[in-house]
Amino acid sequence: MKMKILTGCGMAMLLASCGQDKDLLRNISDSIAVVYMPQAVNSPASYSFTRSAGTDSIIYGANYGGPHSPAADIQVQFRTNPALVEKFNTKNYTNYPLLPEGTYQLEQSSAVIPAGKYSTPALKIRVNTGKLDGVGNYLLPVSITTDAQVNEALRTTYFLINAKYTSNPFPLFDRQSWKITKFSSEEPTGEGATNGHAIHALDGNVDTYWTTEWKANKPGPPHILTIDMQAAQSLHGFAITGRTDKNTGEVKATGNPKNMIIETSLDGNVWDYTETFTLDNVKVSTIYLSYARQARFFRFTINTSQGDTYLTNIAEVNAF
């Protein structure tokens, strides 16, 4: 019986408190109410997709925050704001490019927060991931304008978007005219007359390989290999075949590239793109540039090898 009495008292106090809260809210001015993009709470709002032939979608919209629901409809406009990309990159020490035109579409450029409601309908940005030229992140700032007061910190959502490949859709380049223009070292004698040289990374034979020098000298990393494709091409990535054990056919435990820097150039002098990769020790490592590049030359700088050995080796280098 005592429990029932206490519970009843507690409920009475709660109801009284709720009533007081309503009275308090009733007296708060709507002047503090603001419109904002809820997606802007995360800066950036990140989305990662798997590439497909169709489109993917991202939700956007606007909310109303205040002591009461709005007494009248609130018109809200949405627009992409490319000029804010540089501002975001400067503030966050990033270098994201703008999501390219033609790869996305806003479902609506305006919407209404109805009287008595707290949000617009959920709207969708349609993203054609198949049109993105690289697996890196792209930035799309979307801002709101309205006659109502806006929370400036949440006026703009920075959508950060990328899309990965499930398999390589690109054909390998023809390597017939390719030339190796520079290498840090090669093994001229220890692997035999038809092995060990840098040129064996382009000979089409996975049983031969370029290996850095190990017999007369043992130079450590970094190890460098530079290739001229003889013509500029749209470069999306590389397929790097590692050295295998000649007895078992399994990938060799030591020596294949692990941490490497890839650079590209149109003239072999100005290297205008740099990206760092960490490779697993597999027979063929397929790596994609974050952003496709027009390039004629590319350069590998291998800073560490599998097993952390001093030398490195590559059986075949292909690009796509």
CATH of the domain at 312: 2.60.120.260
Q: Mention every residue, 6+ apart, whose C-beta is less than 8 A from residue 49.
A: 56, 127, 129, 161, 162, 163, 164
- 269-281 average pLDDT score: 98
In the chain, what percentage of residues exceed pLDDT 70?
A: 90
> In which domain, by residue range, is 313 found?
179-319
Question: 151: which 2 tokens?
Answer: 């929370």
Length of the chain: 320
Quick one: 253 and 183 in the same domain?
A: yes
For residue 64, pLDDT beyond 60? yes
State whether the Cα torsion 191-193-195-197 is positive or negative.
positive
Are 187 and 143 found together in one domain? no
Q: Residue 102 falls within a domain, yes or no?
A: yes
HSE of 212, CA atoms in CB hemisphere, 13 A:
26
Same domain, 157 and 184: no
Q: List, for residues 170-223, the tens digit of each pLDDT value.
A: 999 999 999 999 999 999 999 999 999 999 999 999 999 999 999 999 999 999
Average pLDDT, the chain: 91
- Residue 211 in any domain: the answer is yes
% of the chain beyond a pLDDT of 90: 88
Sign of CA dihedral 37, 42, 44, 49: negative
Q: Which phi-psi region, left, alpha or beta, contains residue 193 (left: φ > 0; alpha: ψ -120 to 50)?
A: alpha
**Same structural domain, 142 and 221:** no
Examine the domain organization and report whether 225 and 112 are in the same domain.
Answer: no
Domain boundary pick from 141, 164, 187: 164
Q: Which of 139, 164, 189 is the last residue of a domain?
A: 164
The answer on 128 and 199 residing in a single domain is no
Judge if 183 and 285 occupy the same domain.
yes
In the 8-state DSSP scheme, what is residue 247? T
| Confidence band, pLDDT 50/70/90 cuts, at residue 53 | confident
Query: Is 4 part of any domain?
Result: no
Residues 213 and 277 in one domain: yes
Residue 162: both structure tokens together = 């990328």
**Do residues 189 and 311 both lie within one domain?**
yes
- Answer for the pair 36, 62: CB distance below 8 angstroms, yes or no: yes
The first and second tokens of residue 204, run together, are 């089409």
Residue 103 sits in a domain of what CATH number? Answer: 2.60.40.1740
Whether residue 114 is found in the same domain as residue 221: no
pLDDT score for 14: 32
Beta carbons within 10 angstroms of residue 144's beta carbon: 25
Total domain count, the chain: 2
112 in any annotated domain: yes
1 inside domain:
no
Token pair 């590559």 is at which residue? 314
81 and 195 part of one domain: no
Higher pLDDT, 247 or 272: 272
Q: What's the pLDDT score for residue 254?
A: 96
Cis ω for the linkage preceding 44 (within 30 of 0)? yes
**For residue 15, is it within any domain?**
no
Structure tokens at 197: 């040289």
For residues 216 and 280, state if they share a domain: yes
Specify the pTM. Answer: 0.84
Across 91-100, average pLDDT: 97
Contact 246, 207 (CB under 8 A): yes
Domain end position, chosen among 164, 196, 216? 164
The answer to the question of residue 27 being in a domain is no
**For residue 28, what pLDDT is reported?**
55
Establish if 158 belongs to a structural domain: yes
Within the chain, strands assigned E span 34-36, 45-50, 56-60, 63-65, 74-80, 104-106, 110-113, 123-127, 138-145, 156-164, 179-183, 210-211, 223-241, 257-265, 271-278, 284-305, 313-314, 316-319
Whether the per-residue pLDDT at 306 is higher than 60: the answer is yes
